[in-house]
């Protein structure tokens, strides 16, 4: 079987151990050895990674593949699915180009966009990460995602249900259509004045039935939840992934800590941090407008809650809510810096959120760390994220990307087979 030997890199294995320097050998889709000096065979592909940082590929923890330059809900509603499938394909490519070899889906502009792209990627016909496909967000009448009014009926990027039977049917339909990750809109949201972030329109019974149904089909269930009551209902109802989770009290923090081996939490702090830093001002979302939307308070609560959750050993994931006019797909690595600056993570711990925790959320037990036997999803960085985490803020410093043993991207010279002349001289 074809082998790839990456030599002389600094190896960050994502296991919590200190980085080592050495070689990593990949055979087929898996890692064979890590750290020891490789015995190079004549038909190996050998890559000289001297001076480069090797780490597991990252996971985007709340992917909206079909979001590109979105400035209003209108941008998700107006284009047709035929157009948006190209958008989602571009989103997938932008992610893997930036070192994200996995994407844990949130929701999409249309039901099957991520399903279609996932299937094409898996068939090897499109470039992209491993994808757990999200579908539409599932919400209730009058809450986030319900764009309709009596005088102006229209369909948003959502399915609107009321009561447990409609919920069960909607989740079953998502499962039938191939969605891996079902997403509920449990709490309100600052972009929906009818239902601000601290309210909880979805009932416990609706959430519980959704979770039970998704699990019956072997799928994951995730929730948009900013309110304290919403997050409590989610943990108690068996939700797997909690998105945002800004507001908390002691009871909620305790509940989440008790469930920490079962749940994943995605703060999606990038969106609000960018708005308050003025990065969305050109699109009308100035810090002043953010103030009217109560975003400073949400940000303050996010910092408090997620700092607490970090201390309690919660499995955080990076990413989420990129693809807006001010936040390109492929810049999700910026979250690493937000995790360090706002939640008190060390650079090492932030990288573990992006790699090890991501692999676990994707549903694999052999992904997200560089260990013999694991799937060979790895990236090479021209820089050291442990001293400068910002090198992962975009695709520029990601010089090599491998997914499942296949080289997706390389700006390095790769000899067809065997040692490059430089390495031969050094042997």
CB 57 within 8 A of CB 100: yes
Contacts (Cβ under 8 Å, ≥6 apart) of 366: 30, 359, 373, 374, 375
Helix spans in 192-249 (H): 204-216, 228-237
Looking at beta carbons only, is 190 or 405 nearer to Zn ion?
190
Cα 324–Cα 354–Cα 240 angle in degrees, nearest 5: 85
Residue 34 and residue 21: Cα distance in Å, rounded? 9
Nearest approach in angstroms of CB 183 to Zn ion is 8
What is the per-residue DSSP string for 7-34? EEEEE--SSSSPPEEEEEEEETTEEEEE
Looking at beta carbons only, is 246 or 321 nearer to Zn ion?
321
Nearest approach in angstroms of CB 38 to Zn ion is 42
Tokens of 329: 């797909």
Nearest approach in angstroms of CB 342 to Zn ion is 18
Looking at beta carbons only, is 321 or 335 nearer to Zn ion?
321
Residue 63 and residue 116: Cα distance in Å, rounded? 15
Nearest approach in angstroms of CB 381 to Zn ion is 27
CB 394 within 8 A of CB 382: no
Greatest pairwise CA separation for the chain in angstroms: 77
Looking at beta carbons only, is 185 or 377 nearer to Zn ion?
185
How many CB atoms sit inside 10 A of residue 110's CB?
Answer: 23
Nearest approach in angstroms of CB 63 to Zn ion is 9
Looking at beta carbons only, is 144 or 336 nearer to Zn ion?
144
Nearest approach in angstroms of CB 291 to Zn ion is 22
What is the per-residue DSSP string for 390-427? GGGSSSTTEEEEEETTEEEEE-S---SSB--HHHHHH-
Binding residues for Zn ion, per CB under 5 A?
A: 106, 321
Of 190, 193, 172, 192, the C-alpha closest to 182 is 172
Contacts (Cβ under 8 Å, ≥6 apart) of 288: none
Nearest approach in angstroms of CB 62 to Zn ion is 6
- H/E stretch holding 138: strand 134-139
Residue 363 and residue 15: Cα distance in Å, rounded? 17
Looking at beta carbons only, is 106 or 211 nearer to Zn ion?
106
Nearest approach in angstroms of CB 61 to Zn ion is 10
Nearest approach in angstroms of CB 50 to Zn ion is 40
Looking at beta carbons only, is 191 or 364 nearer to Zn ion?
191
Nearest approach in angstroms of CB 167 to Zn ion is 20
Residue 191 and residue 207: Cα distance in Å, rounded? 22
Looking at beta carbons only, is 272 or 400 nearer to Zn ion?
272
In the DSSP assignment, the letter for residue 182 is E
Looking at beta carbons only, is 137 or 308 nearer to Zn ion?
137
Looking at beta carbons only, is 320 or 333 nearer to Zn ion?
320
Contacts (Cβ under 8 Å, ≥6 apart) of 212: 238
């Amino acid at each position: 079987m074809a082998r790839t030997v990456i030599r002389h890199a600094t190896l960050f294995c994502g296991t919590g151990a200190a980085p080592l320097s050495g070689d990593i050998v990949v055979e087929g889709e898996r890692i064979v050895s890590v750290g020891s000096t490789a015995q190079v065979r004549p038909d190996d592909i050998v890559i000289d990674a001297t001076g480069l940082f090797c780490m597991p590929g990252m996971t985007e923890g709340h992917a909206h593949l079909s979001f590109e330059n979105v400035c209003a809900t209108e941008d998700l509603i107006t284009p047709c699915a035929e157009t948006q499938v190209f958008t989602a394909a571009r989103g997938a490519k932008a992610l893997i180009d930036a070192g994200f070899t996995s994407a844990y889906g949130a929701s999409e502009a249309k039901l099957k966009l991520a399903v279609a792209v996932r299937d094409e990627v898996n068939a090897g016909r499109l470039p992209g990460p491993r994808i757990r496909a999200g579908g539409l967000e599932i919400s209730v009448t009058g809450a986030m995602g319900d764009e309709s009014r009596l005088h102006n009926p229209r369909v948003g990027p959502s399915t609107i249900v009321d009561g447990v039977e409609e919920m069960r049917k909607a989740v079953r339909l998502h499962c039938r259509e191939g969605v891996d990750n079902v997403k509920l809109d449990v709490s309100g949201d600052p972009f929906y004045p009818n239902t601000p972030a601290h309210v909880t329109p979805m009932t416990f019974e609706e959430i519980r039935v959704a979770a039970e149904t998704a699990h019956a089909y072997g799928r994951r269930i995730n929730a948009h939840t900013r309110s304290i009551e919403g997050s409590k209902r989610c943990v108690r109802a068996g939700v797997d992934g909690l998105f945002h989770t800004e507001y908390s009290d002691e009871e909620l923090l305790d509940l989440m800590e008790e469930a920490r081996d079962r749940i994943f939490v995605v703060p999606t702090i990038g969106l609000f941090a960018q708005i308050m830093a003025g990065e969305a001002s050109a699109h009308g979302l100035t810090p002043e407008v953010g103030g009217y939307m109560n975003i400073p308070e949400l940000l303050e609560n996010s910092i408090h809650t997620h700092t607490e959750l970090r201390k309690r050993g919660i499995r955080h994931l990076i990413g989420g809510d990129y693809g807006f006019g001010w936040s390109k797909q492929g810049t999700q690595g910026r979250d690493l810096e937000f995790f360090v600056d706002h939640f008190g993570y060390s650079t090492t711990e932030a990288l573990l959120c992006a790699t090890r925790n991501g692999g676990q959320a994707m549903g694999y037990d052999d992904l997200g760390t560089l260990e013999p036997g694991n799937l060979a999803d790895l990236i090479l960085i021209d820089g050291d994220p442990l001293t400068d985490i910002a090198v992962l803020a975009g695709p520029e410093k990601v010089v090599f990307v491998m997914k499942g043993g296949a080289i997706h991207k390389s700006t390095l010279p790769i000899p067809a087979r065997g040692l490059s002349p430089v390495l031969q001289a050094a042997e």
